[in-house]
Amino acid sequence: MQQGWTEYDPQTQRRRVQPGLRHVAPRQAGYRPRTAAARGHRLLRILTFTVLGLALVLWPVPRVRSFFVSDVPRLADQAIHSAASWGAQALTRIPDRISSLASPQAQHQFWQVGLTTGNEDAHATGMAASIVTTLPQQVSANTTSYYWVGSYLVDGSFIQAGYYVPARDARHAGWFYCAFFANSKEGPCVYGALGSAGGNGAVHTYTLESLPEALGSATIWRVELDGALLGQFTWTIGESGSNTPVIYAESSGYAAHAATSVLGPVDFPQTIQVRRAGASVYTPAAHLWVVYDAPNVCPPYGISRDGRGGVLLGSGLACPDRWSEFG
């Protein structure tokens, strides 16, 4: 996970980064249930082989032969289906009830709430999200509100693009994009001028995509706002590997702080669009999973449907279980 970044320091006119703290977009949100299902599958296989061993010792040879011919395929199929069913049920039993873990005294440097795509959208070479500019916002001192789409990449580096609202001028928003190396060193980070993300209610699509002709040991990432080029940068790799794209609403500060900023809520009308490796077009994410950077982020920050096919992220919304599928 990559080092976080914050608002410009009003005294030094430079961005400050808290040492040792990192951006916390999960690499593989939603994969815990799959790990649990794999364990269940493994136990079922052990049980099946144990039964077979006993059968070899205790049963007459003709009966054993009959068992292998007629019953083993059926039992194996039942075991696979049982494991799949157990894994599916595990999705609804994740013991992480967010509301019971909240603390009004809790402090984090980054308060993040969002959604990640599922395994089907791994190996992404492009990601995009439409985000509504919501103004003005209640932004606490020494913090900035961010709304973005991004992803870890196959080499552990991280990229993101969206818009920001700073404490020094909470009535205006500007676009930004940023990248971090796998060793947490900051790469290119570019801020558009305040007002460049439009006024209240403006809808913009932020896109990060690698150029297909440059997928070697180095590549070029292109950043777009509504299809127009904001900038591009040479980078270490051009796809996400097993990592999956995410969208987030975030309150970020110079240091650990309470969640006193009000994040929107902000509408992401088209959630996440993904261009998979080898593809030339973007498709909507097949599945979405709930992600918080810490268990006690929700409340105050949550997630809900916007009633028009998109999602709201920010203050005062429902608290679905962390890592649960967003239906």
Q: Could you write out the three-class secondary structure of 70-95?
A: HCHHHHHHHHHHHHHHHHHHHHHHCC
Both 125 and 64 in a single domain?
no
Which residue has tokens 């702080």? 257
Do residues 135 and 249 share a domain? Answer: yes
pLDDT tens digits along 259-301: 999 999 999 998 899 999 888 899 999 899 999 988 889 899 9
- 61 and 109 assigned to the same domain: no
Q: What is the CATH number of the domain that holds 223?
A: 2.60.120.200
Q: Are residues 110 and 234 in the same domain?
A: yes
Q: Kindly tell me if the per-residue pLDDT of 95 is higher than 50.
A: no
Residues 185 and 256 reside in one and the same domain: yes
Residue found by looking up tokens 């999705």 in the block = 91
178 and 216, same domain (yes or no): yes
In a domain, 327, yes or no: no
Does pLDDT of 21 surpass 50? Answer: no
- Span of 82-91, 169-178, 245-254 with lowest mean pLDDT: 82-91
CA 26/CA 134 separation, integer angstroms? 26
Q: How high does pLDDT run on average in the chain?
A: 76
Strands of 311-315's sheet in order across: 266-268, 311-315, 301-305
Residue percentage of the chain with pLDDT more than 90: 47
Confidence category of residue 54, pLDDT binned at 50, 70, 90: low
> Is residue 8 pLDDT above 90, yes or no?
no
Of 44, 69, 93, which marks where a domain is finished? Answer: 93
In a domain, 198, yes or no: yes
Token couple for 100 = 């019971």
In the prediction, which pLDDT does 144 show? 95
> Does a structural domain hold residue 325?
no
User: Tokens 């269940």 sit at which residue?
Assistant: 40
If asked whether residues 202 and 56 sit together in one domain, one would say: no
Q: For 261-287, give the DSSP string.
A: SB---EEETT--EEEETT-SS-EE-S-
Phi, psi of 246 (to 5 degrees): -135, 160
Q: How confident is the model at residue 90 (pLDDT cuts 50, 70, 90)?
A: very low
| Domain match, 57 and 147 both | no
The vertex-115 CA angle with 234 and 18, nearest 5°, equals: 60
| Segment 210-218 long-range contacts (CB within 8 Å, at least 24 positions apart) | 210/125, 210/126, 210/235, 210/238, 210/239, 211/238, 212/125, 212/280, 214/238, 215/125, 215/239
- Note whether 192 and 177 are within 8 A (CB): no
Report the 10 Å Cβ neighbour count for 81: 10
CB atoms within 10 A of CB 14: 8
231 and 261 inside one domain: yes
Q: Do 288 and 176 share a structural domain?
A: yes
pLDDT at 28: 36
Cα 77 to Cα 81: distance, rounded to the nearest angstrom: 6
Instruction: For residues 144-152, give the mean pLDDT.
Output: 95
Residue 278's pLDDT is 86
Output the pLDDT for position 190: 95
* pTM (two decimals): 0.71
Per DSSP, the three-state class of 146 is strand
Q: What is the DSSP letter of 132?
A: E
Mean pLDDT of 208-234: 85
Cα–Cα distances in angstroms (integers) from residue 75 to residues 50, 60, 65, 66, 69, in the given order:
13, 20, 15, 14, 11
Residue 128 sits in the same domain as residue 87: no
- Given this model, what pLDDT does residue 62 score? 45
C-beta atoms surrounding 95 within 10 Å: 5
Same domain? For 74 and 215 the reply is no
Is 21 contained in some domain?
no
Q: Is 72 left (phi over 0), alpha (psi -120 to 50) or beta?
A: alpha
Kindly state the average pLDDT of the residues 132-145: 95
What local confidence, expressed as pLDDT, does residue 105 receive?
Answer: 64
Whole-number Å distance between alpha carbons of 244 and 120: 9
Question: What is the span of the domain harbouring residue 295?
Answer: 103-315
Tell me, yes or no, whether 98 lies in a domain: no
